[in-house]
Amino acid sequence: MYDIIIFLTLLFIGYIVGNFLEKRHYKSIRKREEETLDLPLIMLKKPLNDDGIYECKLVSGSVVISIDYFKKFIAYLINIFGGSIGVYETLLDRARREAILRMKEDAKGASEIINLRIETSSISKNSAKSVGSVEIIAYATAIYRR
């Protein structure tokens, strides 16, 4: 009986702490996205205007975010019954947005960023005892104008 109580207590604590940390990260992401709104991110392979370009530079940003044990437990339950795994969706959303922000920070002073690409990989996905992690790298070309 004590084992179940301890398990449920740890699960509850994991839920509370995980939610707090996720909300704090989203708050940081929203603030930093507002600060970088003036740097356009264009998905085209070529700049809209070739005038005044003096430098093009590869910029990148990467992040590794881990899922907590509570979310991993919920994902296991959803896998048993089927359905959309929302806990992984928020993990990927946070990682993608963070990688793009880090890439924009790498492009300080650029006029625009073109040709954005995002790559995703899973870390330790085949290890049964490990917590799942996702790595996302965002890379593009920063255009600098006079």
- Which domain covers residue 137, as residue numbers? 2-145
Q: What does the pLDDT look like over 84-129, one tens digit per residue?
A: 877 788 889 999 999 999 999 999 989 999 999 999 988 766 655 5
- pLDDT score of 139 more than 90: yes
DSSP per position, 48-87: S--TTEEEEEEEEEEEEEEPPHHHHHHHHHHHHH-S--HH
Q: Tell me how many domains the chain contains.
A: 1
Cβ atoms of 83 and 10 closer than 8 Å: no
Query: pTM, whole model, 2 decimals?
Result: 0.84
CATH of the domain at 99: 3.30.110.70
For residues 66 and 34, give the distance between their C-alpha atoms in angstroms, rounded to a whole number: 25
Cβ atoms of 116 and 43 closer than 8 Å: yes
